[in-house]
Amino acid sequence: MNNTLYDKIWRDHCVTERADGTSLLYIDLQLLHEVTSPQAFDGLRLASRRPWRLSANLATPDHNVPTTGRAQGIDGISDLIAREQVTTLDANCRDFDIEQFDILDTRQGIVHVVGPEQGATLPGMTIVCGDSHTSTHGAFAALAQGIGTSEVEHVLATQTLAQRKARNFAVNVEGRLPDGVAPKDLVLAIIGVLGTAGATGHTIEFRGPAIEAMSMEGRMTVCNMAIEAGARAGLVAVDDTTLDYVRGRPFAPTGERWQQAEAYWRTLHSDPGAHFDSSITLDASTLVPQVSWGTSPEMVVGIDGTAPNPEQATTEQQAQGIRQALSYMGLAADQPITDIKLDRVFIGSCTNARIEDLRAAAAVARGRSVAANVKQAMVVPGSGLVKAQAEAEGLADVFKAAGFEWRDPGCSMCLAMNADRLQPGEHCAATSNRNFEGRQGHGGRTHLVSPAMAAAAAVTGHFTDVRGLV
């Protein structure tokens, strides 16, 4: 039987098929944060239920935590409603005896940075979290899915997720990424081709030489945005790069148990001839750095391109979508991307706040200064440990010398739940994952880019091809 990677993980976690035809999928790990868990814990209380397996859960606050004054802990959260949410996570973890890296723990950070960093995320696992970017963990050949709060409660209570199997989608990436073109550029280009609903109902496997050549950080960036193409999960097969990353992490197995795990993990790839329901193939070697111009991640264009012209749309509905997006973004049809001036720059998020991302941005910022028209450029590391490492490597000093703000870890301006946000009409070069209307603040205009492109935009004040700067 020729199975895809997804088929294999599904098979190895399928508990049973219910009478209604849905399967119960055993969940190995649930990550919890403050925003989507309180109503789930309340549900357990109301029904007098306890979590099925405590060790399957790991929690950390990330969406609502401030990125300044971390030493003050909870007291540093001036927004009382946000503070209640973070203290509620503390209380729930205490009441239900769930392991948490709390706001003062150096291991605290964005859940999708923390899981892999700790080795809590392991190859072949089934992972869920009440956050759509859970697809990130698929970089480890883990079937990782974002779920709603009712499902968070369901997994807490039953250690299973009830669902039907998705279809298989292969995204083949031939060639290798040119210098100055990042995994973020690749995934933006993929979404541009697939469209924001192109992989709905599917699990994407990213494969091919460009993916194989990528670091784990790069693969996480790519899988992170699978959801922006509509897929609940993205996957990459296990190879030496995967195992080298996992080995020695705090929660990773050691000794004989590692040997046993590795033998299984080495099987986590699609068999030759496995059937994919859909597929696309891209050539990485022809890619240029990407910038999103509109209000959906599919609205992307190369740095050498222009905003689209609605008159060239194929349908009236597309034309209307382009007109709405151009109007919201304050752009003219056919406007060159390099003409767009930035008010703020945000380097961070579960997409691009790992050490390699910060190194790429620092390489551009080194010896340069944030342009005068940029009111604020901030770097928000993905976790306390990423922050410490970046400081030890001297990256924090590079950023600070260039005029960037060096912040404490959290989701921050990716979704602007905390104090970090755009003002109406402001353009922001962001390394995050969504450019929806108002995502980074009421009336804010988000352009999605790679860390190096964000740094290039910060030091020149407008979008610039980073390949001319490094």
Figure out which of the listed residues 3, 30, 85, 450 binds other proteins, where binding follows CB under 8 A: 85
Alpha-carbon gap, residue 384 to 355, rounded angstroms: 11
- Residue 185 Cα distances to 49, 391, 449, angstroms: 45, 26, 7
Find how far residue 87's CA is from the centre of its chain: 25
Residues 6 or more apart in contact with residue 70 via CB below 8 angstroms: 76, 103, 104, 408
CB of 253 or CB of 336, closer to other proteins: 253
Q: Check residue 267 for interaction with other proteins (CB under 8 A).
A: no
Question: Is residue 431 within 8 Å of residue 351, measured between CB atoms?
Answer: yes
CB of 431 to other proteins, least distance (A): 18
Find how far residue 442's CA is from the centre of its chain: 22
Question: Is residue 183 within 8 Å of residue 452, measured between CB atoms?
Answer: no
CB of 339 to other proteins, least distance (A): 26
Site for other proteins in 330-389 (CB under 8 A): none
CB of 252 to other proteins, least distance (A): 8
Site for other proteins in 20-59 (CB under 8 A): 20-22, 24, 26, 28-29, 35-36, 38-39, 42, 47, 49-55, 58
Query: Which SS3 state, helix, strand or coil, does residue 290 take?
Result: strand
Figure out which of the listed residues 120, 171, 173, 337 binds other proteins, where binding follows CB under 8 A: 120
Alpha-carbon gap, residue 149 to 226, rounded angstroms: 20
- Residue 128 Cα distances to 132, 145, 301, angstroms: 9, 5, 32
Q: Check residue 437 for interaction with other proteins (CB under 8 A).
A: yes
CB of 24 or CB of 280, closer to other proteins: 24
CB of 99 to other proteins, least distance (A): 7
**End-to-end CA gap in the chain:** 48
Name the one range near other proteins by CB under 8 A: 145-153, 204-212, 285-293, 402-410: 145-153
CB of 86 or CB of 113, closer to other proteins: 86
Q: Check residue 97 for interaction with other proteins (CB under 8 A).
A: yes
Q: Check residue 84 for interaction with other proteins (CB under 8 A).
A: yes
CB of 338 to other proteins, least distance (A): 27
Name the one range near other proteins by CB under 8 A: 66-74, 107-115, 235-243, 250-258: 250-258
Question: Is residue 453 within 8 Å of residue 359, measured between CB atoms?
Answer: no
